Amino acid sequence: MFGAIAPTYDFLNHTLSLNVDRYWRAMAVRAMEPNPRGLYLDLCTGTGDLAFALARRSGALVVGLDFTKPMLDLALKKAHRRRRKIHWVQADALRLPLRDECVDGITVAFGVRNFEDLERGLTEAARVLKAGGRLVVLEFSEPQGRLFGPLYRLYFRRLLPRIGALFSRVRGPYGYLAATVQGFPEAAPFAETLRRSGFVVIRQRPLTGGIATLHVALRERRKASMGGPGERHESVEAGGPAV
């Protein structure tokens, strides 16, 4: 499915979001506070937009990982044009081909809701992240305003799948997008899953009226327990101003 929409993926991301997705990625990079000497992993990198933004902002070494080869092929072409040296890896986010505690930070943009097993994927991310390292997750969410909420749901569930199918010439993927967003946990339950997976949640910030949410967490200082419950250290900052 993801391979089928790869050729029009960037165009539709920017068009359907009115280019707001670029701003969201910039916010994710800012939340990471990358160290130029660090090693960063961009999970579910797709065609690499967040990986490029991270490398451009920090100058750090960045690895972009995805399980869809056509997406990575496009990312590699973009890297050649932009003269950005990023290491591209085709792999499953639930089985990362990396040793324990080897990366300084992990970003995921619009990818965790596609994990076959959400907690397992987050626990695997905790495994490869250094103690105290930062996880930044950018994910769609559903706005709750009386006026904006219903209008958004009408667009997202009815109009967006049709527009996506028209331009990509593939039926199904953009309907899948709407379904996975609707089924993804809200901020508080997702924060609890992060804690069980070995993270300390430090911030959850809704963006653009709640269309997306920026989740920021730290890998616990103790070694993450693969499958055991994480300790609860902080309350969730679920508010934060919408932008």
156 belongs to a structural domain:
no
In a domain, 53, yes or no: yes
SS3 158: helix
How far is it, in rounded angstroms, from Cα 132 to Cα 153?
37
| Domain presence at residue 57 | yes
Kindly give the residue spans of alpha helices, DSSP state H, lying in 48-117: 49-58, 69-82
pLDDT tens by residue, the chain, 243 residues = 777 777 777 767 777 787 899 999 999 999 999 999 999 999 999 999 999 999 999 889 999 999 999 999 999 999 988 767 899 999 999 999 999 999 999 999 999 999 999 999 999 999 999 999 999 999 999 888 777 788 877 877 777 777 777 777 777 666 666 777 778 899 999 999 999 999 999 999 999 999 999 999 999 976 544 444 333 333 233 333 222
CA distance 237 to 74: 37
- Does residue 237 belong to any structural domain of this protein? no
Does residue 109 sit within a domain? yes
Q: Is 243 within a domain?
A: no
Give me the sheet containing 103-109, strands edge to edge: 87-90, 61-66, 39-43, 103-109, 129-140, 212-219, 199-207
Instruction: Specify whether the CB–CB gap between 2 and 25 falls below 8 A.
Output: no
Distance, C-alpha 223 to centroid of its chain: 23
Position 58 in a domain: yes
| Residues spanned by the domain of 22 | 2-145+175-219
User: Is residue 231 situated within a structural domain?
Assistant: no
Q: What are phi and psi of 6, to 5 degrees?
A: -55, -45
The CATH number of the domain holding residue 40 is 3.40.50.150
Instruction: Specify whether the CB–CB gap between 34 and 61 falls below 8 A.
Output: no
Into how many domains does the chain fold? 1
